[in-house]
Amino acid sequence: MKKINQTLCQLVLITMLSLFTIKAKAACLIVNSQNRKVSSQNDLIYKVLISSSTNCPLNVIDLKKRILLLGLKTDVYMVANRGRNNSKLGSFSFFETIEGPNSQTQQAYIGHFTSLHGQTLELSQNPADQGLMIEAIAWDLTKRVYNFYELIGQGTTAQWFYRGDSSDIIYDNQMLHLQPQGMPPQFGQRLRCSGCHSSGGPIMKELQAPHNDWWTIKRNLSLNQFKLSPEVQSQLVNLKSAEELSAKVNIGIETLEQSPTIQNTLRKNLKLLLKPLFCESEINLESASMPLDVSNKIKVPTTSMLNPLLGKIDFTLTKQNYLNLLNQYHIRFPESNDRDADHPWLTPVKSRRELIAIKNLIQQGVINQYFAVSVLSIDFKTPLFSEKRCSLLKLIPSKPAGLFETWKDEFINELQRSKTETSLELMSKLSVSNEPNSLTFINIQSYIQSLQKNSNQINTADNLFRNLLVKRKEVFTSDISKNPKGQILEPGFRVIFPVFFSLLNN
Ligand code: HEC
């Protein structure tokens, strides 16, 4: 009897011990923002995380080991958070794409950061910092939207969170630009990612070359001033040029745009569906193509002067004229005291995602080209953040996308009832016939020609430059940056634009 008791005790002890080891080396528990275990998701990140029943990757090194073990591939991209020529604080972000052997839609992305310890550049993967260690976005093959995850340090360990998906983000941002007159902008509270991933998918501010602050094959980021930890060194082995990330983010944007799930959500409300035509919910950055050091001419990005769907403008100024403007407005890059960002004329522009959405609206017959041109021609000299154009969105009927001719008539009636100068201008453009009135084209053409003709006139360049300074400022103050959970330029974390001192005095 005593013997049996002893064996029993041993058994209980062994079971308790093995339970303990399982707990210490356990499968991933992925929870939502309410700390409840999330149901199974059909995306790469979820699959990677639950692929082992005994070992949850709780930092980026372990996560990448697991990714490789499963036969998946990662490509690494790098951006200097405080400006290409201002990296002394050692603040960089690594973004990585994860792909299956031969699939483009099974795509996931992760992001993580570096910090400086003494002179050594390290990956910020210390759970004791209690901060963000990894963020991830992964395409869900069943829901046909992106899932958003993050790994947060908890002191001695870390916790994986599933924060929501693209549909949640669309709901969080549905009231953007549509709040009642005089009210501050309203945002949902579902997930913080909505603050910047405004349309629910991957983003890259510098989607267009030359990718001012990114590591590119033509223009590496200089890390000579740092010692590199072995983990940072191993990141650099797979470093790829930013153009490749741009191509993948573009595919990601298209994939989400074509998703039946997203289309169904947006088509329930014309105001949401047509928002990209009237307003901006996100931005991209563009700049002159050559770095200031090696340029002798500065070509102003067309998209900063005109919506590219309305035409192209070739406006080039001499380097001397540009330097004079930098001097005249006392432009300085913060922290480094350089004269400018690496590439001249770094400017916010209407986002590629919204331009794609407009083209798709035309292609799918939701609107026709004349309608698009008529709307975009309202205040066309302000291609980004035009209050006039954006205010007209509120007059679009709140109803599902039906027959174009039917809701267009309702819209025209609303424009007439509203009786503002802008609404009457659009009404007259839309009701004349089903083609843009020739005056619209003449006005746009004469604007293009007058800019091109006056490329060498300092007054014209001065006006455009002032406008550039205003637009840089407006990104911070516009409604798109009012979500308390995050704003696209990430002030405090990123340093992007040079600043100026004398605009108001001139
Ligand atoms: C404050 C703004 C902001 C918030 C909030 C934010 N992100 Fe991002 N994220 C960015 C920017 C900006 C980029 C692209 C880098 C660039 O253009 O500088 C990015 C890139 C990423 C990438 C790489 C793929 C891509 O889109 O290029 C992942 C993954 C990512 N974010 C995940 C998340 C997740 C998950 C959340 C929420 C838990 C989140 N982010 C919240 C600004 C933000």
**Average pLDDT of the chain to the nearest whole number:** 92
CA dihedral for 128, 27, 235, 95, sign (positive or negative): negative
230 pLDDT above the threshold of 50: yes
Q: Which of 187-196, 307-316, 334-343 has the lowest mean pLDDT?
A: 334-343
Q: Tell me, in angstroms, the distance from the centre of ligand 1 to residue 329's CA.
A: 32
Ligand 1 atom 26, closest CA: 202
| C-beta 196 within 6 A of ligand 1 | yes
Q: Tell me phi and psi for residue 176, to 5 degrees.
A: -55, 130
CA distance 231 to 223: 14
Q: Tell me, in angstroms, the distance from the centre of ligand 1 to residue 59's CA.
A: 18
505 pLDDT above the threshold of 70: no
Q: Tell me, in angstroms, the distance from the centre of ligand 1 to residue 406's CA.
A: 39
* Residue pLDDT, tens place only, 427-483: 999 987 666 667 888 999 999 999 999 988 999 999 999 999 999 999 999 999 999
Cβ 376 vs Cβ 277: under 8 Å: yes
Share of the chain above pLDDT 70, in %: 92
Q: Tell me, in angstroms, the distance from the centre of ligand 1 to residue 494's CA.
A: 12
Mean pLDDT of all residues in 271-286? 98
320 pLDDT above the threshold of 60: yes
Mean pLDDT of all residues in 175-189? 96
Residues in the chain: 506
* Residue pLDDT, tens place only, 347-360: 999 999 999 999 99
pLDDT band for 238, please (50, 70, 90 cuts): confident
Mean pLDDT of all residues in 226-248? 97
184 token code pair: 């501050």
494 pLDDT above the threshold of 50: yes
Residue among 197, 244, 256 to mutate when testing ligand 1 (max atoms within 8 A of CB)? 197
* Residue pLDDT, tens place only, 42-78: 999 999 999 999 999 999 999 999 999 999 999 999 9
18 pLDDT above the threshold of 90: no
* Residue pLDDT, tens place only, 76-134: 999 999 999 999 999 999 999 999 876 655 689 999 999 999 999 999 999 999 999 99
53 token code pair: 């029943």
User: Looking at this protein, which amino acid is placed at residue 273?
Assistant: L
| C-beta 205 within 6 A of ligand 1 | yes
Ligand 1 atom 3, closest CA: 196
Mean pLDDT of all residues in 371-381? 96
| C-beta 95 within 6 A of ligand 1 | yes
Q: Which of 19-23, 253-257, 489-493 has the lowest mean pLDDT?
A: 19-23
Top pLDDT among 455 and 505 is at: 455
pLDDT of residue 116: 96
Q: Tell me, in angstroms, the distance from the centre of ligand 1 to residue 371's CA.
A: 33
CA distance 347 to 496: 10
pLDDT of residue 6: 52
Cβ 397 vs Cβ 270: under 8 Å: yes
Q: Which of 18-32, 163-177, 451-465 has the highest mean pLDDT?
A: 163-177
The backbone region for 83, taken as left when phi is positive above 0, alpha when psi lies in -120 to 50, beta otherwise, is left
Q: Tell me phi and psi for residue 441, to 5 degrees.
A: -65, -45
CA distance 268 to 494: 37
Q: Tell me, in angstroms, the distance from the centre of ligand 1 to residue 79's CA.
A: 12
CA distance 209 to 216: 10
pLDDT band for 401, please (50, 70, 90 cuts): very high
User: Looking at this protein, which amino acid is placed at residue 46?
Assistant: Y
Q: Which residues contact 88 (CB under 8 A, 6 or more apart)?
A: 225, 335
Mean pLDDT of all residues in 185-209? 98
Ligand 1 atom 43, closest CA: 196
| C-beta 79 within 6 A of ligand 1 | yes
pLDDT of residue 106: 63
Residue among 203, 287, 476, 483 to mutate when testing ligand 1 (max atoms within 8 A of CB)? 203
CA distance 44 to 108: 6
| C-beta 192 within 6 A of ligand 1 | yes
Q: Tell me, in angstroms, the distance from the centre of ligand 1 to residue 159's CA.
A: 19
Closest atom of ligand 1 relative to the 93 alpha carbon: 15
pLDDT of residue 438: 79
Q: Which residues contact 270 (CB under 8 A, 6 or more apart)?
A: 396, 397, 398, 399, 400, 401, 407
| C-beta 135 within 6 A of ligand 1 | yes
Q: Which residues contact 86 (CB under 8 A, 6 or more apart)?
A: 80, 333, 334, 335, 336, 338, 495
Mean pLDDT of all residues in 479-490? 95
Top pLDDT among 20 and 320 is at: 320
